[in-house]
Amino acid sequence: MKRLIEKQKRRKRRKMSIRRRIVGTNERPRVSVFKSNKHLYVQVIDDSEGKTLLAVSSQSGDTKGLKPTVIDGEKLGQSVGAQMKEKKITEAVFDRNGHLYHGVVKAVADGARKAGIKF
């Protein structure tokens, strides 16, 4: 149990360190990725107004049923990229939310890049 708490503290520390440097604006919103053991969540956030412009998860919509795997993460990223294109958002800042940039988190970013979003 102690190991799990330490792991969560380290992730939170990395998250806060990242968030000090990354800020989403209206022109370049922040794309935040959260993963749990069962689901993936991606939000496109404008920090200047404090609003979520777009939210996609593996629990609803056309991405329902996707698992937190690399293949499904890329599909989710492509879905987010397509919806961002519809809202005329072409550039964004990627927020890995304290997670390491590999595996599923990297797959989400690569999927959005395939859809034409520039990070």
Mean pLDDT, the chain, integer: 94
**Could you tell me if 114 and 78 are in contact, meaning their C-beta atoms sit under 8 angstroms apart?**
yes
Average pLDDT over residues 74-93: 96
pLDDT tens per residue across span 47-71: 999 999 999 999 988 899 999 999 9
Percent of the chain with pLDDT over 70: 100
- Integer Cα distance of 37 and 100 in angstroms: 15
pTM of the model: 0.90
Residue ranges per structural domain of the chain: 2-114
Architecture category of domain 2-114 in CATH:
2-Layer Sandwich (3.30)
Query: In sequence order, what DSSP letters do the residues of 30-76 get, joined into one string?
Result: EEEEEE-SS-EEEEEEETTTTEEEEEEETTSGGGTT--SSHHHHHHH
Q: What is the mean pLDDT of residues 12-22?
A: 92
